[in-house]
């Protein structure tokens, strides 16, 4: 990593990902970032179909589980998260 300032560090962090299965502790932190931070939450790729109510803070918001992210309203899943989301802020 080059030391070119905060934004470069943030971009570097955003490229690092963790993939499912997640640990229980990782799910706790993913939940924190998804529902209790200022980050835009991960959402379902099918949420524009009109079948995804806006609960939990957005339309089609994804739920973190040890098996990966799941949608409450369809079979959409996501198997990765930004690495920093799986750790304490
Ligand atoms: Zn969905």
- The tokens for 17 are 């990902």
71 CA from centroid of ligand 1 (Å): 5
12 CA from centroid of ligand 1 (Å): 29
**Residue carrying structure tokens 């079948």:** 51
- The tokens for 24 are 């229980």
Residue-wise pLDDT tens for the chain (89 aa)?
444 555 665 666 567 999 999 999 999 999 999 999 888 999 999 999 899 999 988 999 999 999 999 999 999 999 999 999 999 88
Q: Are 81 and 17 in contact (CB under 8 A)?
A: yes
59 CA from centroid of ligand 1 (Å): 9
- The tokens for 20 are 């499912």
Q: Where are the alpha helices (DSSP H) in 1-89?
A: 6-15, 24-36
* pTM (whole model) above 0.85: no
């Amino acid at each position: 990593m080059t030391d070119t300032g905060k934004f470069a560090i943030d971009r570097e962090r955003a490229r690092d990902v963790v993939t499912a299965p997640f640990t229980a502790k990782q799910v706790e932190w993913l939940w924190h970032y998804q529902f209790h931070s200022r980050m835009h939450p991960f959402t379902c790729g099918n949420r524009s179909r009109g079948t995804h109510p806006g609960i939990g803070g957005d339309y089609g918001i994804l739920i973190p589980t040890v098996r990966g992210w799941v949608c409450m309203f369809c079979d959409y899943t996501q198997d990765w998260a930004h690495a920093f989301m799986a750790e304490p802020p």
